[in-house]
Amino acid sequence: MKRIVIVNAGLSQESATARLGRAIEAELQTVGQTDVSWVDLRTLARPIADHLVTGFPNVALGEALQQVTTADAVVALTPTYQGSYSGLFKSFFDLIDAAALTDVPVLLGATGGTPRHSLVTEHALRPLFSYLHAIVVPTALFVATEDWGAHAVDSDGTAGRTLPTRISRAVSQLMGLLNGSTSQPRQAADEFVEVVDFAELLRGASA
């Protein structure tokens, strides 16, 4: 049984970020063999601030930090503020030891009102978790308000990038990392393997 923690930085139970978390949890339940739990940061906002000042967590925050750092995988979700992750989200992960998430699979997700913030997962979230040495799944999820439409399709009329499809792909990649079934990256072709030795070129030129 794989223990997966969803870290939700949404500011209400009905926020788009929490809604995304529930959709991911539902997809995780379809694959089985997962124990999914939640860390809702909104309930820990004051303890997080206190910890940043005093250097000590209270009991609830200490348990949340341990829950995340001992999980087999993490789903990290944040609303978008000023084109980046929320301060609450960043403050929580600032409290995690820089080595605690080393080699831990992480699925990234962000929500926002407009698709113009869609690169927040790449320019803000992915570098943060790369710094923490986590293994981030290739498919990150950015969800704008319009993505919640039940019949949303791509401009070419296909459903290839609709939200359920993207969630399914991201969860599949996360489980692949957890189960060790991801393929090894291909080696880049050596562009110099066919290069003729320079001394041989000189002999040819003098012949």
pTM recorded for the entire structure? 0.81
Handedness of CA 92, 93, 99, 105 (dihedral sign): positive
Are 146 and 115 in contact by the 8 Å Cβ rule? The answer is: yes
| Averaged pLDDT, 35-56 | 97
Tokens for 46? 């004051």
- Model pLDDT for residues 147-205, shown as the tens digit of each residue: 987 544 443 444 446 899 999 999 999 999 998 844 333 333 343 444 455 565 566 65
In this predicted structure, the answer to whether residue 30 has a pLDDT above a threshold of 70 is yes
Q: How far apart are CA 167 and CA 171, in angstroms?
A: 6
- pLDDT 10s digits, 124-161: 999 999 999 999 999 999 999 999 875 444 434 444 46
Q: Which domains does the chain have, with CATH numbers?
A: 2-206 (3.40.50.360)
pLDDT at 156: 42
